[in-house]
Structure 1
Amino acid sequence: MFLPAAWAALRRWPLSTASVACLALFIGLHLLAARWSYSFVPYREWLGLAEEGRNHFDRLIHFLFGLLWTLPLAEAARRHAGYLAGKALLFAFLAVQSVSAVYEIFEWSLALLMAPESAEAYNGQQGDGFDAQKDMALALAGNILALATLSLVGRSKR
């Protein structure tokens, strides 16, 4: 159901190959996490690392949210909303940060309504009381890195 909807959206509102690749990579990593749950993706085993402490796969996803969604959002704002480059980048920044914050508030609200062990399993906080703040900071870091890269690429094209 998702693929036909995505195909129709891209035909109606086309994006560059780079933007589509960013979105596909992000969705692919979510599908990978759906197989194990974010807190249990065995990336350490795949990389031959010791299985100690927190599983950071969910943190990687938050960083990549900021990194990989910035280009498609900025490009969509330019192509389909008519924003100039600076405003398109600002839109992408604000959109990523807003979605990140709303998601963390949703997670927190859900945790309040669930039994503690169920909330821990769903949220993947893994005992970290500052998980939401760290997740938002990682999305911010990815967002800033993408914005800096896009700004440098834009300047080099002038």
Structure 2
Amino acid sequence: MNTKTQSHKIPFILLAIYTILFITLAIDPYSRAVWWAESIPVLIVVGILLLTYSNFKFSNLSYFLMVVFLCYHTIGGYFTFALVPFDWGNNALSQLGFDFILPEGRNNFDRLGHFLVGVFAYPAVEISLRKQWVSNALMAWVFGVFALGFWAASYEIIEMAYAVVEGGESGVAFLGSQGDVWDAQKDMLMDILGSCVFGLLALFTQRHWRNQ
């Protein structure tokens, strides 16, 4: 669907759904300190999307993917990522055979969340093509992957800084390493893998962007 003719109801419906979820899960989170730490980044994203909506409207699929991640992240902030009830998901992920990245016996809700961070490569590819920041689809994909890779590394630094400054149980909960000394590296790998996948999805599903 051309972004110039798409319905504007979808983004506002998605915003309403996310707002209801956010307010509901803000009432009594497991740790208020962790909830704030996890909520501030997503609120910044929502704020940027709202402030720029009149000037640039992403496709409805971009908004849908972003809201899926925001909902997922908000659930993680409510429970803390290590404590989200996710046995069914852990069992399903263990069948994939990627024990190095998704080890059995660990709550992999956060690691799957890092893969879903890659959904932002979709709007990154979209805006780079529609704004003609790049000359071709390959460079748009590279832009999306590198942008997400930079964010992945930056967020791991933020997690480290928070854990050092805050300390205690909330610092450990926000860091979410669950005893894995390679947690930060594996999280960044999942971010980049996700951005590769969703960046390619953008190229294959929205080829008309190249002509706008």
For normalisation by structure 1, the TM-score amounts to: 0.80
Post-superposition offset of 1:78: 1.6
Q: Which has the higher contact order (CA 8 A, sep 6+)?
A: 1
Post-superposition offset of 1:35: 2.0
**CA 48–69 in structure 1, closer or farther in 2 if over 3 Å, else same:** closer
Structure 1: stretches of 5+ with no match in the other structure: none
Partner of 2:186: 134
Partner of 1:91: 143
Contact 2:163 / 2:171 at 8 angstroms: preserved in 1?
A: yes
Partner of 1:113: 165
* Residue 104 (structure 1) aligned to one of 152, 156, 163: 156
Post-superposition offset of 1:149: 3.6
1:124 aligns with 2:176: yes
CA-to-partner distance for each residue in 1:54-82, whole Å, 9 max, x for gaps?
Answer: 2111101101112x111111111122354
* Residue 123 (structure 2) aligned to one of 72, 86, 90: 72
Alignment of 1:1-158 (within 5 A): 6-44=49-87, 53-66=105-118, 68-84=119-135, 85-115=137-167, 117-153=169-205
Paired residues, number: 153
Where do 4+ consecutive residues of structure 1 move more than 6 Å?
none
CA-to-partner distance for each residue in 1:110-140, whole Å, 9 max, x for gaps?
Answer: 3333435443122111111111001001111
The one-letter code sitting in structure 2 at the alignment partner of 1:146 is F
Aligned mates of 1:80, 1:105 — CA distance in 2: 30
Contact 2:126 / 2:202 at 8 angstroms: preserved in 1?
A: no
What is the RMSD computed on CA atoms of the aligned residues? Answer: 2.9
For normalisation by structure 2, the TM-score amounts to: 0.62
Contact 1:13 / 1:80 at 8 angstroms: preserved in 2?
A: no
Aligned mates of 1:5, 1:69 — CA distance in 2: 13
